[in-house]
Amino acid sequence: FFLSLKLEKKTKGKLQKQICQVVLDHFEKQYTAELGDAWSSVRDVLTSPWCWQHALLLNRFSPNPGLESSLAEQGYHPAFPAALPYLPAAFRCYSRTAPGRFPAQKHQPGRLKDYYLLNAASLLPVLALEVQDGEDVLDLCAAPGGKSVAVLQCAWPGHFQCNEYDELRSRWLEQTIESFIPDPLISLITVSKLDGRQIGDLQPEFYDKVLVDAPCSNDRSWLFSADPQQAVLRLMQRKELSSLQSQLLRSAVKALRPGGSLVYSTCTLSRAENSDVIDLILSSHSNVMPVDISGVARGVSQEFSFLSGMQQHELLVLPERGRAWGPMYVAKLKKVSSS
């Protein structure tokens, strides 16, 4: 016991040193103003990686008969209750309150993985999108591919375009799809490397559903920026992200058919990259309406902690001890007519 305590202290000390003070100071100022009292408990989790939790999304294309009973023995339970407005039978995700990560599976060409390790909150955008079989779907900023894989656990789209502009991340996306999706089905997926801001002009009114999991200031990873200079540069460029996010959203709206819907998500707490971006789109597009997703938040309120006072078309998952999921912002919009 004393040895494990010693190890824990050593680990804590090691991780504590890695926190980037310049980022923490920046967050402290911004999030105290934006989140009020909620920030101190969120900061406590974000700066304590040893209390982070990981969930497993099971791969329906590679059933492993013993896996679910093995997970149950280790204290895992289904993360999403049947009370959700949209929860396909094949969609199975397991989590537990204890921190720690289940062993990862290595990529082996020609062999499918049984599960995908992730932050359970990152599945909320996919569940909010409510993809049905046969729909044409676009994942606008798809790498590393977890949400694309999750979409395919829910339904089989008629056409599924997974787009990633960055060359390196695009290769990562291709490998993820290869690891989780069998060959006959891969042929129905298009992996493209287009600038997401141009897709709306290139493919106007082509999709029933669009997921915009936008590039954002990733609060979890930025706090542990090893290079202080890089961190300072990131914080300076942070102001420009909302402009990129707005452009991606405008493109997504153009790519949607009338009657189609889109989900926008980020893994930051920043209001400028979340509610402000959505408000801008709603105020500048008369053909776009907010969609109520409060049912999603209600359905998972046992598993996730949310910031109160949000609009009905948005939610923000706040990490807390024992429910260390997020940050994850999710908003849903619908296109009611051609522009």
Per-residue pLDDT reduced to its tens digit, 111-136: 999 999 999 999 999 999 999 999 99
Query: pLDDT tens digits, residue range 4-39?
Result: 444 444 444 444 458 999 999 999 999 999 999 999
pLDDT the model gives residue 227: 85
Enumerate the β-bridge partners of residue 315.
330
Containing structural domain, residue 251 = 18-53+117-335
Rounded to whole angstroms, how far apart are CA atoms 247 and 208? 19
Asked whether residue 83 is domain-assigned, the answer is no
Please check if 141 is assigned to a binding site: yes
pLDDT the model gives residue 17: 52
Q: Given pLDDT bands bounded at 50, 70 and 90, which one contains residue 339?
A: low
Average pLDDT over residues 301-305: 94
Rounded to whole angstroms, how far apart are CA atoms 273 and 238? 9
Instruction: Give me the number of domains the chain comprises.
Output: 1
Asked whether residue 289 is domain-assigned, the answer is yes
Query: pLDDT tens digits, residue range 129-172?
Result: 999 999 999 999 999 999 999 999 999 999 999 999 999 999 99
Asked whether residue 33 is domain-assigned, the answer is yes
Please check if 142 is assigned to a binding site: yes
Give DSSP secondary structure letters for 160-224. Answer: EEEE--SHHHHHHHHHHHHHHS-HHHHTTEEEE---TTTHHHHSTT-EEEEEEE-----HHHHTT
Q: In this model, does residue 61 exceed pLDDT 50? A: yes
Q: In this model, does residue 197 exceed pLDDT 50? A: yes
Kindly state the percentage of the chain with pLDDT values over 90.
85
Asked whether residue 106 is domain-assigned, the answer is no
In which residue are the tokens 């001890």 written?
Answer: 321
Average pLDDT over residues 241-263: 98
CATH of the domain at 200: 3.40.50.150
Asked whether residue 149 is domain-assigned, the answer is yes
CB 77 within 8 A of CB 95: yes
Asked whether residue 161 is domain-assigned, the answer is yes
Secondary structure letter of residue 108 according to DSSP = B
Please check if 195 is assigned to a binding site: yes
Asked whether residue 84 is domain-assigned, the answer is no
Asked whether residue 67 is domain-assigned, the answer is no
267 among known catalytic residues = yes
Residue of 20, 154, 162, 267 marked catalytic: 267
Please check if 213 is assigned to a binding site: yes
CB 137 within 8 A of CB 159: yes
Instruction: Kindly report the length of the chain.
Output: 339
Q: Report residue 273 as tokens.
A: 């990259």
pTM exceeding the 0.75 threshold for the entire prediction = yes
- Containing H/E element for 77? strand 77-78
Please check if 314 is assigned to a binding site: no
